[in-house]
Structure 1
Amino acid sequence: MDKLSFNIFPNVNFIDLCMYQFGHEQCEPGHSFGPATRNHYLFHYVLSGTGTLMADNAKGITQTYNIKSGQGFLIFPGQINTYIADDKLPWEYIWIEFDGLRVKEALTTTELTKNNPVYHTHSKDIREKLVEEMLYITRHPSESPYHLIGHMYLFLDYLMQSAKSSKLVPGGKMSDFYIKEAMNYIEQNFQNDISIEDIAGVCGINRSYLGKIFKNSVGHSPQEFLMNYRMIKATELLKLTSLSIADVGSAVGYENQLHFSRAFKNIYGVAPREWRNEHK
């Protein structure tokens, strides 16, 4: 029998960074998982032993990687993958599945891509800190969601530091500044009737350029980011207050209840009232 601990994170109302599940497994020889895909990012760190990862690259062509202790691998959303423990020296690993509106932006600063999913680092100290955070999360599943998310932020920071890309994108620093300005404006004004032109104007750039750099860095258009942000705020209000559906819609920037309900259903697949009844 495999030695396995597995936990589902109890709260999905975190926007920038959220966990979905995490765990620790000492695999049996030849133990395999897949082929499968994930809806979110999934990072494994190998504590001991070895194994094999087979994952599609950016062109959809399956590549094979041999991974040993002290290394790890990142599976990307929608990426077909299979991983198999070695027959003689099976791996023991810890993992975290995570996502969020700023995760793609964070990972672009690392060398981890679909074409390069294996985690290596030249900094042993930072790698050890990353492992400490992963082990802490897997060993303390009963801590509060806010407590665990705090450690998740530290994990992501250590991942970014230890797998930092040596390639600098020309002009990247300025585009990063624009994106942060846009995000800050959305977070502070999502409840108002704001347009993408308003957001671009605050940044001092045109709408099409904002859309291009936002999509490349965050993985969403500014409009999608704004809508997702509003809907997550709406779920908090539906779950934690007794405000009417119309008032919840108004609180997140929708004066028309029908428009709010339609947008909410597009994201969550059910009407706001039905969502509230399921989660209250």
Structure 2
Amino acid sequence: MIEYLSPSKQHTELYLTQYGMEDCLPGHFFGPAVRTHYLLHYILEGEGIFEVGGKKYKLRKGQGFLICPGVITYYQADTVNPWTYCWIGFNGTLAESLLRNAGFSITSPILCYERDDAIYELIMSMSQSQSYRHARETRLTGLLYSMLAMLMEFSPNKLPTPPESRAEIYVEQVQLFIENNYAQKITVGDIARVIGLNRSYLCSLFHQRMNMSIQDYLIRYRMNKACEMMGNVELSIGDISRSVGYHDPLLFSKMFKKVKGDSPRHYRALSQASSSIDSN
């Protein structure tokens, strides 16, 4: 079984190019050759060899191998106990970084996943997606993300993240959470729970990196968004207040003046006057 796909421009970050499954004959081989996309094989039964970069790997059930674009590889089924494998071909702007997060690279191409039948079941779900008439590509992309997420979660290939890098990741997670949720009634405690860190530790870490508290960052972010909205004459100050997470307009005005040094109404009037002068 093999199916080739013709991706559209809808999912440029990550997309399937093919998927399939094969019960190989003894000694069946492919290569040496190169591919134009990533190709991840997973062995369901049997064994065989995979060669890349001058190294030979003898692989069996529960293992697999990654072929990277432009890299010469060779693989062959065992002559006595030939493998049965499934595979997915994919590409996209996020493919390399997602694989790296799962511990895969040109120099680390071997997969070890002996937990369950999840990879096989995901391939089967890809085959069953043919029943989708209008959203099959989105369904397939979702299944591909699910497979990579599973490998990122459980793959023993993953390298430990240095403490300094972890700190940067946590700060980025705080910033991203605020970016996506500033319009809601959120607290620092909410952010810490979502990220999965102790509140005090996260606050200390953020302050060390950003030289301000999470609360101050949240307030400044909201006020900057409010300033962006001031140019929309259809929005009242109350509308803007609610849109940046403040249901009390008086509290919003107080915080706005604290950050921007002026009341929202006066700031808007000055901004509109400046825009009028610039247009003339």
How far 1:26 moved relative to its partner? 1.1
- Who is 2:166 aligned against? 173
Counterparts of 1:9 and 1:175, CA distance in 2: 38
Q: What RMSD, in angstroms, separates the aligned Cα atoms of the two structures? A: 3.2
Gaps of 5+ in 1: 57-61, 185-202, 205-280
Instruction: For 1:136, give the aligned amino acid.
Output: S
Q: What corresponds to 2:115 in structure 1? A: 124
- SS of alignment partner, residue 39 of structure 1: coil
Distance 2:172 2:36 in 1: 24
Match for residue 137 of structure 1 among 108, 111, 126: 126
CA contact (8 A) 1:7 1:22 kept: yes
CA shift at 1:84, angstroms? 0.5
1:158 is the counterpart of 2:150:
yes
Tell me whether 1:111 sits opposite 2:103 in the alignment. yes
Question: Is 1:87 aligned to 2:76, yes or no?
Answer: no
RCO (CA 8 Å, sep 6+): is it higher in 1 or 2?
A: 1
Tell me the CA shift for residue 174 of structure 1: 4.4
Q: Contact (CA 8 Å) 1:51, 1:85: kept in 2 or not?
A: yes
CA distance in 1, matches of 2:128, 2:63: 20
Contact 2:42 2:64 in 1 (8 A): yes
Partner of 1:43: 40
Provide closer, same or farther for how the CA distance between residues 95 and 37 of structure 1 changes in structure 2, counting only shifts above 3 A. same
Q: 1:167 to 1:37 in 2, by over 3 A?
A: same
Separation (CA, whole Å) in 1 of partners of 2:171 and 2:30? 41
Deviation at 1:10, TM superposition (A): 4.2
Pairwise CA distance, 1:183: 10
Q: Secondary structure at the match of 1:82?
A: strand
1:21 and 2:18 correspond: yes
C-alpha contact 1:12 1:19 (8 A) present in aligned 2: no
Q: Kindly provide the amino acid, as one letter, of the partner of residue 131 in structure 1.
A: Y
Contact between 1:6 and 1:22, CA under 8 Å: does it hold in 2?
Answer: yes
CA-CA distance at 1:156 after TM superposition: 1.2
User: CA offset at residue 102 of structure 1?
Assistant: 2.0
Judge conservation of contact 2:64–2:110 (CA < 8 Å) in 1. yes
> Post-superposition shift, 1:66?
0.6
For residues 77 and 183 of structure 1, the distance between their equivalents in structure 2, rounded to whole angstroms, comes to: 31
- Stretches of structure 2 lacking an aligned partner (at least 5 in a row): 178-208, 211-280
Q: Distance in 1 between matches of 2:91 and 2:174?
A: 21
CA deviation digits over 1:43-100, x for unaligned, max 9?
00111111110112xxxxx110011111111111222101111111111111111122
- Aligned pairs for 1:221-232 (under 5 A) are none
Equivalent-residue separation in structure 2 for 1:175 and 1:131 (angstroms): 36
| Structure showing greater Rg | 2
Distance 2:63 2:176 in 1: 33
Report the residue type matching 1:27 in the other structure: C
* Number of matched pairs: 179
**Alignment pair present for 1:66 and 2:42:** no
Q: 1:222: which partner in 2?
A: none
Partners of 1:74 and 1:179 lie apart in 2 by: 30
Deviations 1:202-239 (A, max 9, x none): x98xxxxxxxxxxxxxxxxxxxxxxxxxxxxxxxxxxx
Contact 2:102 2:148 in 1 (8 A): no
Q: For residues 48 and 171 of structure 1, do their structure 2 counterparts lie closer, same or farther at Cα, with a shift above 3 Å needed?
A: same
- Measured in 2, the distance between the counterparts of 1:8 and 1:67 equals 28
TM-score by length of 2: 0.55
SS at match of 1:161: helix
